Structure 1
Amino acid sequence: MATTTDPAPDVPALDAGAPGEARPAARVPSPFPYRTISMGTIGSVLLLLGALGAGGILIRDPVIGTGPLSWVRYGHGKMLANAVLYAGFGLVVWAWVRLGRYMLAGRIGSRPIVIAAACWMTPLLAAPPLFTRDVYSYLGQGAQLLHGLDPYAHGPAELDVLPNVVQNVHPVWQTTPAPYGPLFLLVAKGIVALTGDDVIAGVIVMRLVLLVGLGAMVWALPRLVRHLGGKLPITLWLAVASPMTVIHLVGGPHNDLLMLGFLTVGVLAALERKHALAIALVTLGMLIKPTAAVALPFLVWVWANHLPGEQRMRNFVKAGAASVGIFAVVFVVGTWVSLGSFNLGWIGGLQAPTLVTNWVNFPTGVGQLVHTLVHLVINVPESPFVTVARAIAILAFAVLVARQWWKSRFGGNEAVFRMAITLLGAAILVPPTLPWYLTWGFVIAAAFSWRRRHLAIVVGVAVFLVMAYYPTGEQALYDWWFVAITLGLAVYAAAALLRPDPLGLIGAWRRQKAAAVAEGGEVTTPTSSATP
């Protein structure tokens, strides 16, 4: 009779002679991974419980407030909440890595991965914001639009209604204009119109609305894989079940998820020769979050190469002119419908996020490093170094865009690949770099073929990027002991994908157990388990 438990977790997913390309091995009959999915689900529940005391909690919480459970937000209670939250995060990562090993060994296909992601996301729908407070800004800016205050000219602090919504916006964003597209502000306006000053309901409804983007991704990715040559289980494991999606995009939540829905479906439409629809969808994505605009020039090359004839320049002009026309119509109508006028103030609002300064953004880190070295000799302020480094990075990004765009001139999969690289470049080179920004290009890149060692690198990067911020939403990047521990855990998680028990701790315990049994002695259970 078939068992209902997972495959043995200590069976290596990779053979020594396996090829470098990450291809799930030939499918063999295997039990459904109930234990692994349950492990991640328990971890997600712990994230929910820990977030009640250690997440992005409300300033005045009508549920816990000053009641009998308020102790979880102070002193030892908050320490306990943090411990529960990070334990939950560890279980989610552990389950994700185990799932990845089973996938690479050919023991599971796409269905268990999608079910796992759904199980891990569900408890987080009702959780306080995790590792961010951005959702409160979304609600604040939606409230501004609802009550006639231009979000591109004023900050939420100037709103004299809905005090619960306004007071929970992070202090940095209280007086800054909105950096989001007008269509997203219309979405936020509708949510606030529905939930009013009930911030908890607002957060939950915002998550449910953003899940539309996730649904679009899940629908589009299998079709993108068929065009781009990837393997569907790997793509879903990377783009849907990853902690970057489960914890950041859904647990956050972040409006990048809705933008990615438009982007993935738009790219798919372009590859299937529905070019007008592709330009329209990606433009709508841009009206959610402006980053999607980076993809548009690459889609022009895809369109041009699908036109008949060998007059490449003429085809490019035709595709470019049609794309500009479609973009202009969707952009103008979308902006007008969203704001009631053709308001381009959101372009200036894009400067607001540059207030965030940390070394995850590569040029900012270079500027800070140079300042630190110079500061050993002379006392000088940091800002000029960061400003110069960021200016150089903007020029480097412009060169990157031009180079990748020109390499895309033959269209097809190459153009989509270059698009993904450019989106990743935007996240890394253009300040700021917030952890979830890397999903912009990563979700598209997930549909291509991957090498196994690159998958391991992704695991390490994903773990580090989730832990780069404290659960409250404040950055942890200058707590150097915390960063060192985070890097160690990230490296261990990466190694665990390629080899169970990379430190050999479980193997040593099993040898001890075998020796003790042979001698008739007792075995001491290890204090911790390194089994992935």
Structure 2
Amino acid sequence: MTDQAELLPGSDSSERTSTSPIDHAERRQLDHIRRFGTTGSLILAAGAFGAGANPVINPLYGARLLGLLTRMPTVAMAICWLGMLMIVAAWLWLGRLCLPGRERIVGVGQLARTAGMWGLPLALCPPLFSTDMYSYLAQSEVAARGLNPYLVSPLIGLGVDHPFTSNVPNIWRDTPSPYGPLFLMFGEQISRIIGDNVIFGVLIWRVVMLCGLAMAVWAIPRLARRCGVHPTAALWLSVANPIVLFHVISGMHNEALMVGIMLTAIELGLRFQSIAGTAGAGALLTIAGAIKPPGWIALGFFGICLVLLQGGRWRDLFRVGGLLGAVFLATMTVITVSSGWGLGWIDTFDVPNRVKTIMAPLTAFGMSGGGASMLLGLGNHTDAMLAITKIIGYLIVAAVCLWMLWLSFRGRIQPLVAMGATFLTLALAVPVLWPWYLLWSVVPLALSTNSSRFRVTATVICAAVSLVVPPTGAGFLLRAYQVPLAVIAALVAFTIIVLLVRKRMPVLWPTLGRPGSTTQ
């Protein structure tokens, strides 16, 4: 592997060695893995017609062939879970050929084509795993009508009978927008194009998210080389990750735009280290945060990268920090004034937290404390406990962010590794946690560290978490019996399929680590 990119300070150069292409036997294994994963993706895409996050008024209802699975929801869910299991297994097998430190490793082009084969069916089928895209449509339509989406909810702005409102989950119907102003400004223009056509709107938003993913695919291998990480290993853990396939390509979460713009900005800023280049990268990073606020965290760590490359002196810190700070203020001023919604975007930091999930550790602790107080006869103090845990979480995030910035400035940790650690803390410490939030940290860490402990942990967690969210993206009140039946059927079918193909696949266990790998 050859690369002329400047190695970032604190990066591990041990992986910057040449590797040979995979041999004939391994190419045969790669072909089998590709077909297995593509088959799983096609199966999942087929199940989406009956068990996906389809609109309330589903045009497939009543159709003889395409609408068949809409009348068999349990069968459709079993088909979806079978496809999910096959994709996760294929990803793990593929990881066997993408291990850092191997003498022969899958090429970047081979891996990109494999991920493309797996992602294409999911890009063409109905949405899966989440109904957030309907919130994008509704909140963008509120903005298109000249209303302030930070003050007016879809229920108030559009009415309960509007086709966009009817598809928004109940927990978000009467809630202001949790998204950044630039995201809503862009959505406002999309709404002017699509009118009230839900299907067309979903397709347009999917194209937008795929553009964000394409930016990430461009930036990840280049940043990985700067960090001494093999680009194939970085792409496998990030772009080919089942969470990306399920929740970015199919679920269409705007993490695709935030992360894609963020990584592209960092790469361009490191490539063009001039005042104009730094200002341009700072503007792009500000734009990433104006889509989803966590993107702003990257500004500080990008600045530290530049400071270290310029000598790591205090005057370098003040010069770079002053420039990026000025760019941030100027960019957000332009966006805020252009939107016409004032400073309502400040509330986006807290709107998502109005929905509580027990997946968030501190929220689970707060709810447990409230439940314990009721059991002890002390009254219901759940809200008070959650308010306390929320403050504690924010303090933890602030402390970790400042500590990581300091350590990276002092050269004790590579800045992009520190950024990934900060994103991980943010995902775990805020009151709400969704599986796709893990991408905030997994992607930066995948391209910046060769730590085997991280790769083992990330592989196990991503494989498990990708199977947690049901394909419908909704609860199963009054029909919970469907879930175990569908899962059992999928597991039985998956076991039979694996037994039939196992001799054609690589040994699975080395995917999770390698002896002698470095830690950081």
Q: TM-score range by the shorter chain?
A: 0.7 to 0.9
Question: Matched residues in 1 for 2:136 and 2:51: separation?
Answer: 21
Question: Shift of residue 380 of structure 1?
Answer: 3.7
What are the within-5 Å matches in structure 2 for residues 467-506 of structure 1?
Answer: 467-474=467-474, 497-499=508-510
The equivalent residue for 1:142 is 140
Question: Shift of residue 224 of structure 1?
Answer: 0.4
Structure 2: segments with no counterpart, 5+ residues: 1-13, 499-505, 513-520
Q: Which 4+ runs in 1 deviate beyond 6 A?
A: 20-25, 479-482
What are the within-5 Å matches in structure 2 for residues 390-401 of structure 1?
Answer: 390-401=390-401
**Comparing 155-164 and 125-134, the one that deviates more:** 155-164
Q: Which of 99, 111, 114 is matched with 2:109 structurally?
A: 111
Letter of the 1:269 counterpart: L
The equivalent residue for 2:425 is 425
* Contact preservation (8 Å) 1:22, 1:450: no
Are the structure 2 counterparts of residues 163 and 386 from structure 1 closer, same or farther at C-alpha, using a change threshold of 3 Å? same
The equivalent residue for 1:220 is 219
The equivalent residue for 1:457 is 457
Which of 1 and 2 has greater Rg? 1
Question: Matched residues in 2 for 1:230 and 1:500: separation?
Answer: 16
Tell whether 2:171 aligns with 1:172. Answer: yes
Question: Shift of residue 143 of structure 1?
Answer: 0.9
Question: Shift of residue 87 of structure 1?
Answer: 0.5
TM-score by length of 2: 0.82
Letter of the 2:390 counterpart: R
**Comparing 379-388 and 130-139, the one that deviates more:** 379-388
Are the structure 2 counterparts of residues 500 and 412 from structure 1 closer, same or farther at C-alpha, using a change threshold of 3 Å? closer
The equivalent residue for 1:295 is 298
Question: Matched residues in 2 for 1:189 and 1:466: separation?
Answer: 31
* Contact preservation (8 Å) 2:180, 2:348: no
Q: Which of 13, 24, 29 is matched with 2:23 structurally?
A: 29
Percent of residue pairs bearing the same amino acid type: 30
Measured against aligned partners, the alpha-carbon deviations of 1:342-386 in whole angstroms (never above 9, x if no partner) come to: 621121133221122222211112223334445543364333333
Letter of the 1:196 counterpart: G
Letter of the 1:401 counterpart: C
The equivalent residue for 2:130 is 132
What are the within-5 Å matches in structure 2 for residues 16-95 of structure 1?
Answer: 27-30=21-24, 31=27, 33-62=30-59, 64-68=60-64, 70=67, 72-74=69-71, 77-95=72-90
Are the structure 2 counterparts of residues 443 and 412 from structure 1 closer, same or farther at C-alpha, using a change threshold of 3 Å? farther
Question: Shift of residue 22 of structure 1?
Answer: 12
**Comparing 392-401 and 244-253, the one that deviates more:** 392-401
Cα RMSD after superposing both structures: 3.1
Question: Shift of residue 296 of structure 1?
Answer: 1.4
Higher relative contact order (CA 8 A, sep 6+): 2
Question: Shift of residue 100 of structure 1?
Answer: 0.7
Question: Shift of residue 26 of structure 1?
Answer: 5.2
Letter of the 1:464 counterpart: A
Question: Matched residues in 2 for 1:402 and 1:500: separation?
Answer: 34
* Contact preservation (8 Å) 2:178, 2:352: yes
* Contact preservation (8 Å) 1:298, 1:405: yes
Question: Matched residues in 2 for 1:496 and 1:189: separation?
Answer: 50
The equivalent residue for 1:440 is 440
Question: Shift of residue 443 of structure 1?
Answer: 1.0
Tell whether 2:286 aligns with 1:283. Answer: yes
* Contact preservation (8 Å) 2:285, 2:296: yes
The equivalent residue for 1:318 is 319
Are the structure 2 counterparts of residues 496 and 194 from structure 1 closer, same or farther at C-alpha, using a change threshold of 3 Å? farther
Question: Shift of residue 475 of structure 1?
Answer: 6.0
The equivalent residue for 2:97 is 102
SS at match of 1:296: helix
* Contact preservation (8 Å) 2:15, 2:228: no
* Contact preservation (8 Å) 1:300, 1:319: yes
Measured against aligned partners, the alpha-carbon deviations of 1:312-339 in whole angstroms (never above 9, x if no partner) come to: 33322222221111112221223334x2
Question: Shift of residue 126 of structure 1?
Answer: 2.5
Question: Matched residues in 1 for 2:57 and 2:95: separation?
Answer: 41
Question: Shift of residue 254 of structure 1?
Answer: 0.5
Letter of the 1:242 counterpart: N
Tell whether 2:237 aligns with 1:238. Answer: yes
Question: Matched residues in 1 for 2:37 and 2:377: separation?
Answer: 51
Question: Matched residues in 1 for 2:42 and 2:417: separation?
Answer: 37
Question: Matched residues in 1 for 2:166 and 2:22: separation?
Answer: 55
Question: Shift of residue 412 of structure 1?
Answer: 10
Question: Shift of residue 24 of structure 1?
Answer: 10
The equivalent residue for 1:200 is 199
Are the structure 2 counterparts of residues 342 and 81 from structure 1 closer, same or farther at C-alpha, using a change threshold of 3 Å? closer
Question: Shift of residue 127 of structure 1?
Answer: 2.2
* Contact preservation (8 Å) 1:71, 1:78: no
Question: Shift of residue 414 of structure 1?
Answer: 1.8
SS at match of 2:466: helix
SS at match of 1:467: coil
Measured against aligned partners, the alpha-carbon deviations of 1:180-237 in whole angstroms (never above 9, x if no partner) come to: 1111112222222222222112111111111111111111112101211111111010
Question: Shift of residue 36 of structure 1?
Answer: 1.3
Question: Matched residues in 1 for 2:453 and 2:408: separation?
Answer: 26
TM-score by length of 1: 0.80
Question: Matched residues in 1 for 2:453 and 2:17: separation?
Answer: 12
Are the structure 2 counterparts of residues 254 and 95 from structure 1 closer, same or farther at C-alpha, using a change threshold of 3 Å? same
Question: Shift of residue 496 of structure 1?
Answer: 7.5
SS at match of 1:159: helix
